[in-house]
Amino acid sequence: MSKATRKVRDKWRLKEWYDIYSPNYFGENVVASIPCEVPSAVVGRVVETTLYDITNDFAHQSIKLYFLVVNIKEHRAETILKSHEYATDYLRSLVRRGSTRLDGIFNATTRDQFSTRISIVAFTRDRINASQEHGVRHIMRQIVDEKASTLTYDQLAQEVVLGKLGSDIYNLAKKIAPLRHVGVRKSKLLSIPEGVMATPAQLMEQAKAKTVESTAATA
């Protein structure tokens, strides 16, 4: 007596590929592709890349970027910067004997209500005293607060990753202490405003609208 043949469901055939794009302030490049059965499964994913992969500048290979998928339009996944960090080897290479390392960790809320944590590191040319350390950290806090109050998250993320924020701190703080390097070694997005990340219901509405448009076009 023969048994009925059971059909094996090929899950891969049910999945569609979605291209993950970096934000427009990082060139809108494809940084990854993800297979999923439904668009809602892509939203909330985090993809890792390096700044070098985006700029093709060898000097940027030590900066890691993490992008958060917030919306899907057809097969295009839109992202925002979730976090970034110096590579461990690069941070270690900045350490020198006879110098002082200063760290500052600051929470800030941007003009468009994104909450982020910014970790700044500075290395001096020589040893400095406690008063100088306090002065440099005060400038770190001052610059971060000023930037957050006047910039959107997109603008702040660009300045954080590309070095503008670190450069501004360096130019002001070098009057207090002999600095060798200042940069944002790490940033992390803590919270985003409502409406930035697409919900499953919104994605479903987008799919329905696309279906209606396709039907109307072929009618």
Rounded to two decimals, the pTM is: 0.87
Higher per-residue pLDDT: 142 or 213: 142
Mean pLDDT of 27-55: 91
Q: What is the pLDDT of residue 219?
A: 55
pLDDT (tens digit per residue) in 122-138: 999 999 999 999 999 99
Give the CA distances from residue 20 to residues 2, 33, 57, 116, 198, in Å, rounded to whole numbers and listed in that order: 48, 6, 21, 22, 15
Q: Whole-number mean pLDDT of the chain?
A: 89
Higher per-residue pLDDT: 23 or 212: 23
Tell me the DSSP string of 22-78: --GGGTT-EEEEEEESSGGGTTT-EEEEEHHHHH--GGGTTEEEEEEEEEEETTEEE
Higher per-residue pLDDT: 199 or 119: 119
Mean pLDDT of 192-200: 89
Q: What is the pLDDT of residue 208?
A: 66
Q: What is the pLDDT of residue 13?
A: 62
Buried b (16+ CB within 10 A) or exposed e, 45-64: bebebbbbebbeeeebebbb
Q: What letter does residue 7 receive in the DSSP assignment?
A: P
Q: What is the pLDDT of residue 217?
A: 54
For residue 57, give every residue at least 6 positions away whose Cβ sits within 8 Å of its Cβ, in sequence order, or none.
51
Q: What letter does residue 125 receive in the DSSP assignment?
A: S
Mean pLDDT of 2-14: 55
Q: What is the pLDDT of residue 201?
A: 81
Residue ranges of domains in the chain: 15-191
Structure tokens at 173: 């703080």
Mean pLDDT of 193-203: 86
Mean pLDDT of 25-46: 90
Within 87-173, residue ranges assigned H as helices are: 88-93, 130-150, 153-162, 164-173
Measured distance CA(143)–CA(184) in Å, rounded: 12
Measured distance CA(217)–CA(215) in Å, rounded: 5
Q: What is the pLDDT of residue 92?
A: 95
For residue 177, give every residue at least 6 positions away whose Cβ sits within 8 Å of its Cβ, in sequence order, or none.
100, 124, 128, 132, 133, 135, 136
Higher per-residue pLDDT: 13 or 110: 110
Least confident of 12-16, 44-48, 85-89, 190-194: 12-16
Q: What is the pLDDT of residue 1?
A: 47
Band the pLDDT of 15: cuts 50, 70, 90: confident
First to last CA, the chain: 51
| Choices 3.40.50.300, 3.90.1580.10, 3.30.479.30, 3.30.70.1230: CATH for 15-191 | 3.30.479.30
Q: Under a CB-based contact definition with an 8 Å cutoff, are residues 165 and 147 in contact?
A: yes
Q: What is the pLDDT of residue 86?
A: 97
Which is nearest to 184 in space by CA: 52, 85, 60, 65?
85
